[in-house]
Amino acid sequence: MLDVVYRRQRDVGQLKKPAMSTMNSEVYAALIDAGAAEEKAREAAKSVARYDADIAEIKASLLLLKWMVGFTLAFVVAITWRLFG
């Protein structure tokens, strides 16, 4: 998935490296307490952190889209008001 995002950003001229994986320490500690192997717990915690980063990026994009739709709707209402008002 990161490869697709990386390619899209490269295509529009916004070359950005994929985010470095960080580890969610709460998930790591919970998995260790549950009896998971240390390496598997570390990889699972990194995976959760990557999903958190992806979700944050999607939320930011969604916020932009909401503003764009709001502006477009206001523009259409203004034009309609001007034509028929």
DSSP conformation letters of 13-41: T---PPPPP---HHHHHHHHHTT--HHHH
Which pair of structure tokens corresponds to residue 80?
């309609």
- Check: pTM over 0.85? Answer yes or no: no
Calculate helix-pair angle for 25-33, 38-84, nearest 10 degrees: 140
Kindly report the number of other CB atoms within 10 A of residue 49's CB atom: 19
Domain count, the chain: 1
Do the beta carbons of residue 41 and residue 31 sit within 8 Å? yes
Give the domain extent around 78.
Answer: 2-84
| 1-25 pLDDT per residue, tens | 455 555 555 555 554 545 555 778 8
> Over its length of 85 residues, how does the chain's per-residue pLDDT go in tens digits?
455 555 555 555 554 545 555 778 888 899 999 999 999 999 988 888 888 888 999 999 999 999 999 999 999 999 999 999 8
